[in-house]
Amino acid sequence: MDPIFIKIADVRGGVHFINISHIYEVEEIVTAKGKERHTHIRYYSIPDCAKCQVNKVITKEFPTSVLERINQLKQNS
């Protein structure tokens, strides 16, 4: 099976292409003052490797929309 990548724009204007099989957590974070909400997407450089490097992308996209896009990519492959 070929890898499936999702395109994520981060809060600083960068763009990341992440293999969806490497993602292990999508979490919504609210700032201390409650004014901003960000989504943290954590993923491994190598899938299912607890000792490997963990990467994190912070985006303003809602976690539900990220998860919906991942599910659509899985269904279309």
Enumerate domains of the chain plus CATH numbers: 5-76 (2.40.50)
Pair 28, 60: CB distance under 8 Å: no
Q: What is the pLDDT of residue 31?
A: 83
pTM equals 0.84
Strand blocks (E) in 1-77: 5-9, 15-19, 23-30, 37-44, 54-59
**Distance separating the N- and C-terminal Cα atoms of the chain:** 9
Q: What is the pLDDT of residue 41?
A: 96
Phi/psi at 74 (5° precision): -65, -40
Q: What is the pLDDT of residue 26?
A: 96
The larger pLDDT score, comparing residue 34 to residue 4, is at 4
Q: Bridge partners of 38?
A: 29
CA angle 16, 19, 25 (to 5 degrees): 85
pLDDT tens digit string along 11-62? 999 999 999 999 989 999 998 887 889 999 999 887 666 677 889 999 999 9
